[in-house]
């Protein structure tokens, strides 16, 4: 029976093993490219030795046994100058895959016998022997495990797959679960928000401006530094993906009869861990595309005066707040005539043909293979990259090759944004989606439809406040922002542009459903909430308005209309509070907010709203206590109370009913429409 403590040790070993096995595979590919260099073999021996000892310590005897034999293979290679053949490298890679499968099976409590057989068969290939009929189960001799291992000189940093962006200093790697790092980043963000609230409270009570308080300024500086360090702790390098990417190129090249020379530049470029993980599949697709479509056969290359081995190069570099990743090959280049034929657009110029490559269903392959010919590839790559707030572009020259470039933000947590104002509120728009900013005079009318002129061509134009449903008011009369998305470009008129800066974007999480027009939100220095717009959602929403009305009409104030109902929103989470306020404001309600029950009672003493929308779990006074206080007050007991909570238990609902609430919505099941409908129902349909 495995205890919880032993399982924790196994999890730590699993993390270390994943990194060391990746290094082993990467070094095996270096061995294939450079020959049996002693330094490489010694480092491989050390990885196998360390993994073997760790497996024995955590009770993975079969894994330790396989690694003992792999270690013996490397020990023999250290004194053997024999030529490195494909069988040796294939065998080592097979052992790596087999050991990974054995560890994964052991962690899941599954049978690992099949994975062990595969690993032993791979060992036999590496030795040049026939596969064993029965897997070996012998344990490594204890005295062998205690033999000292001589220190090997390190490989150049660019070839070390585990190099981290640590400023060049030597550091000891400590396995830490990723969830703990994410929790650390979340807590630092929460501490920063608390500091902002503290500053406002102190300033209000002392009657002074926050900048005059040196202690608060110092606390802000320390929290900013802590947040930067916490973000760096989540960063990984491109080198951490080097092994699977290089193997994808090698395996496909061998299957297609190509000879490929692999180059990796910028292996130490730092990435947000989540960003790099989501880029793994797009990069594999682009590299396989380079081999399958780009690199010619050795005979074709020789006939064209090229080296028999084609070049596939992956290069990453940081440019400001962006990472630029280039996938380059020196192959045949894009056949633009085939692209035009596949797109059914013989009139396309070269730039248009290159752009058409990213359309769904476009393929230049003459036959369908497991890799090509289905028209699924570059469109999926572009969609995946744009989902990361990035972009893709391509350059190609016939006979000289193709260069596909991906541009993504340095981290998903911080985005460079254009800050604008519309309908009296500030918003942030990710800069990667801003194609142009035009003066107010660029807007006009074409065939009675609003349009903006760009390079002599009209673009559809919408009032951003109208698209956001920000309420009645005069149309915007300021500059025009042209936004690009997968669906095309659309122009939006705004009131003003106030600058651009990096915005620490907070995910809206699972408390509210994903809103089409919002990519997230950020806490401002004054503790206000800055909503971050989603470019694709904006363009799609504007297109729907155009389709429905034929134009985007000016929003006119309503006359002779009854005053809107007033709603008090009580919520301690700033982002959720702002979203609820925004949803109800768009529905036509006049909304005030409070951060907890005590502040809500203070506001209720000033004036009585038509409805109270309250969270349940809040500091100082929760939603149940607030409801009871409202029901006990003679001037407030008729005000409807709608409780909004993440509690799904029946006890919570019963407590709400006993306290006197009129409605009870569960956050994880409600959507924007459900909230508006519930409020309207309690107000008798009054907006």
pLDDT of residue 263: 92
pLDDT of residue 264: 92
The 10 Å Cβ neighbour count of residue 613 is 28
Nearest to 150 by CA among 65, 51, 38: 38
Which stretches does DSSP call E strand in 382-505?
Answer: 391-397, 401-409, 414-422, 425-430, 434-438, 443-446, 449-454, 457-463, 480-485, 488-493, 496-504
Task: Give yes or no for a contact between 348 and 337, defined as CB atoms under 8 angstroms apart.
Answer: no
Which stretches does DSSP call E strand in 455-546?
Answer: 457-463, 480-485, 488-493, 496-504, 518-523, 529-533
597/154: higher pLDDT: 597
Residue matched to tokens 């529905």 = 587
Longest dimension (CA), the chain: 95
Q: Locate 164 and state its tokens.
A: 């981290």
**What is the phi/psi pair of residue 381, to 5°?**
-60, -50
Q: Is the pLDDT of residue 505 over 90?
A: no
Residue matched to tokens 């596939």 = 312
- Residues 6 or more apart whose Cβ sits within 8 Å of residue 518: 508, 531, 532, 533, 534, 537, 579
- Residues 6 or more apart whose Cβ sits within 8 Å of residue 397: 333
Q: Is the pLDDT of residue 194 over 80?
A: no
Nearest to 538 by CA among 503, 578, 494, 500: 494
**DSSP bridge partners of 414:** 504
pLDDT of residue 668: 53
User: If DSSP codes are grouped into helix, strand and coil, which group holds residue 2?
Assistant: coil
Assigned superfamily of 414-549: SH3 Domains (2.30.30.40)
Answer positive or negative: Cα dihedral of 678, 683, 685, 687.
Answer: negative
pLDDT tens digits along 206-254: 776 655 677 777 887 888 788 777 777 778 888 888 888 888 898 899 8
Residue matched to tokens 């190509």 = 258
pLDDT of residue 472: 56
pLDDT tens digits along 54-82: 787 778 889 989 999 998 888 888 766 55
Q: Is the pLDDT of residue 148 over 60?
A: no
Q: Is the pLDDT of residue 562 over 70?
A: no
Task: Give yes or no for a contact between 609 and 594, defined as CB atoms under 8 angstroms apart.
Answer: no
Q: What percentage of the chain carries pLDDT values higher than 70? A: 77
Task: Give yes or no for a contact between 631 and 660, defined as CB atoms under 8 angstroms apart.
Answer: yes
The 10 Å Cβ neighbour count of residue 297 is 14
pLDDT tens digits along 361-397: 676 655 445 455 433 468 888 888 887 878 888 999 9
Q: Locate 672 and state its tokens.
A: 């924007």
**What is the phi/psi pair of residue 48, to 5°?**
-65, -40
CA distance 679 to 392: 44
Nearest-10 Cα torsion for 292, 296, 298, 304: -170
The CATH number fitting domain 4-145, selected from 2.40.50.140, 1.50.10.10, 1.20.120.160, 3.90.700.10: 1.20.120.160
Q: Is the pLDDT of residue 141 over 80?
A: no
Please state, rounded to an integer, the average pLDDT across all residues of the chain.
78
pLDDT of residue 567: 93
Highest-pLDDT range among 236-245, 292-301, 435-444, 532-541: 292-301
Nearest to 413 by CA among 517, 331, 497, 504: 504
Least confident piece of the model among 86-90, 199-203, 667-671: 667-671
Task: Give yes or no for a contact between 300 and 287, defined as CB atoms under 8 angstroms apart.
Answer: no
Q: Locate 405 and state its tokens.
A: 């470039």
pLDDT of residue 261: 92
165/272: higher pLDDT: 272
Topology of the domain comprising 566-682: Rossmann fold (3.40.50)
Nearest to 501 by CA among 410, 417, 425: 417
pLDDT of residue 306: 94
Nearest to 252 by CA among 364, 118, 369: 369
Nearest to 6 by CA among 109, 91, 89: 109
Q: How far separated are the first and last CA of the chain, in Å rounded?
A: 62
CA atoms within 13 A on the CB side of 396: 25
Please give the average per-residue pLDDT across 169-175, as a whole number. Answer: 49
CA distance 120 to 161: 26
Residue-level length of the chain = 687
CA distance 388 to 673: 28
199/100: higher pLDDT: 100
Q: Is 580 exposed, middle or buried (0-12, 13-18, 19+ CB in 10 A)?
A: buried
Please give the average per-residue pLDDT across 458-468, as a whole number. Answer: 87
Which region, left, alpha or beta, applies to residue 660 given φ > 0 means left and ψ of -120 to 50 means alpha? left
pLDDT of residue 260: 93
Q: Is the pLDDT of residue 197 over 90?
A: no
Q: Locate 260 and state its tokens.
A: 């490929």
CA angle 217, 220, 223 (to 5 degrees): 155
Give the CATH number of domain 236-365+372-408. Answer: 3.30.565.10
Task: Give yes or no for a contact between 618 and 645, defined as CB atoms under 8 angstroms apart.
Answer: no
Please give the average per-residue pLDDT across 135-142, as a whole number. Answer: 43
pLDDT of residue 552: 39
Q: Where are the domains of the chain?
A: 4-145, 181-233, 236-365+372-408, 414-549, 566-682
Nearest-10 Cα torsion for 118, 123, 129, 131: -10
pLDDT tens digits along 396-433: 999 999 999 998 877 766 677 899 999 888 999 988 78
CA distance 64 to 15: 16
pLDDT of residue 580: 81
Please give the average per-residue pLDDT across 526-546, as a whole number. Answer: 78
Q: Is the pLDDT of residue 151 over 50?
A: no
pLDDT of residue 189: 67
Please give the average per-residue pLDDT across 504-511, as a whole number. Answer: 59
pLDDT of residue 558: 32
Task: Give yes or no for a contact between 96 and 19, defined as CB atoms under 8 angstroms apart.
Answer: no
Q: Is the pLDDT of residue 164 over 50?
A: no
């Amino acid at each position: 029976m495995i205890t919880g403590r032993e399982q924790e040790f196994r999890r730590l070993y699993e993390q270390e093993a994943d990194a060391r096995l990746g290094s082993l595979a990467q070094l095996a590919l270096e061995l294939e490219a450079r020959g049996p260099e002693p330094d490489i073999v010694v480092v491989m021996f050390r990885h196998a030795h360390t993994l073997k000892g760790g497996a024995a310590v955590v009770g993975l005897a079969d894994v330790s046994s396989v690694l003992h034999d792999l270690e013996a293979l490397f020990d023999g290679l250290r004194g053997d100058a024999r030529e490195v053949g494909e069988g040796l490298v294939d065998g080592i890679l097979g052992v790596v895959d087999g050991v990974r499968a054995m560890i994964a099976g052991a962690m899941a409590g599954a049978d690992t016998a099949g994975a062990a057989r595969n690993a032993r068969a791979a060992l036999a290939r590496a030795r040049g022997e026939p596969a064993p009929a029965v897997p070996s189960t012998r344990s490594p001799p204890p005295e062998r495990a205690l033999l000292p291992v001589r220190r090997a000189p390190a490989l150049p940093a660019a070839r070390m797959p585990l190099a981290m962006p640590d400023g060049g200093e030597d550091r000891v790697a400590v396995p830490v679960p990723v969830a703990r790092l994410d929790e650390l980043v979340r807590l630092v963000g929460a501490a920063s928000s608390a500091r902002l609230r503290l500053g406002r409270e102190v300033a209000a009570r002392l009657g002074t401006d926050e900048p005059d308080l040196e202690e608060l300024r110092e606390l802000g500086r320390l929290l900013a530094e802590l947040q930067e360090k916490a973000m760096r702790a989540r960063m990984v390098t491109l080198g951490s993906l080097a092994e699977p990417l290089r193997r994808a190129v090698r395996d496909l090249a061998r299957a297609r009869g190509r000879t490929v020379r692999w180059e990796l530049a910028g292996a130490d470029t730092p990435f947000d861990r989540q960003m790099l993980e989501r880029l793994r599949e797009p990069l594999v697709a682009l590299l396989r595309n380079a081999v399958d479509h780009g690199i010619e056969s050795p005979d074709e290359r020789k006939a064209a005066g090229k080296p028999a081995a084609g070049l596939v190069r992956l290069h990453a570099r940081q440019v400001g707040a962006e990472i630029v990743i280039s996938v380059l090959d020196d192959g045949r280049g894009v056949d633009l005539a085939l692209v035009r034929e596949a797109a059914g657009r013989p009139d396309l110029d070269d730039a248009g043909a290159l752009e058409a490559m990213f359309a769904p269903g476009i393929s230049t392959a003459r036959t369908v293979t497991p890799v090509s010919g289905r028209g699924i590839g570059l469109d999926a790559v572009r969609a995946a990259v744009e989902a990361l707030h990035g972009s893709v572009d391509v350059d190609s020259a016939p006979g000289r090759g193709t260069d596909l470039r991906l541009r993504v933000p340095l981290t998903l947590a911080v985005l460079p944004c254009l800050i604008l104002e519309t309908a009296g509120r500030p918003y942030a728009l990710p800069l990667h989606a801003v194609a142009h900013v035009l003066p107010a005079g660029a807007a006009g009318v074409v065939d009675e439809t609003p349009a903006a002129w760009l390079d002599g061509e009209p673009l559809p134009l919408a009032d951003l406040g109208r698209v956001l449903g920000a309420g009645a008011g005069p149309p915007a009369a300021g500059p025009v922002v042209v936004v690009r998305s997968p669906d095309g470009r659309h122009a939006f008129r705004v009131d003003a542009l106030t600058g651009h800066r990096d915005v620490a974007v907070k995910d809206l999480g699972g408390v509210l459903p994903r809103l089409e027009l919002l990519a997230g939100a950020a806490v401002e220095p004054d503790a206000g909430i800055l909503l971050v717009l989603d470019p694709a959602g904006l363009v799609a929403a504007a297109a729907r308005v155009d389709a429905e009305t034929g134009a985007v009409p000016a929003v006119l104030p309503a006359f002779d209309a009854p005053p809107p109902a007033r709603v008090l929103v009580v919520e301690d989470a700033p982002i959720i509070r702002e979203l609820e306020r925004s949803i109800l404001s768009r529905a036509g309600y006049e909304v005030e907010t409070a951060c907890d029950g005590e502040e809500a009672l203070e506001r209720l003493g000033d004036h009585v709203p038509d409805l109270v929308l309250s969270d349940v779990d809040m500091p100082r006074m929760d939603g149940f206590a607030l409801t009871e206080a409202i029901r006990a007050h003679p001037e407030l007991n008729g005000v409807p109370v709608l409780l909004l909570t993440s509690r799904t238990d029946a006890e919570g609902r019963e407590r709400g009913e006993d306290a006197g609430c009129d409605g009870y919505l569960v956050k994880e099941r409600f959507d924007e429409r459900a909230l508006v409908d519930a409020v309207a129902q309690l107000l008798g349909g009054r907006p």
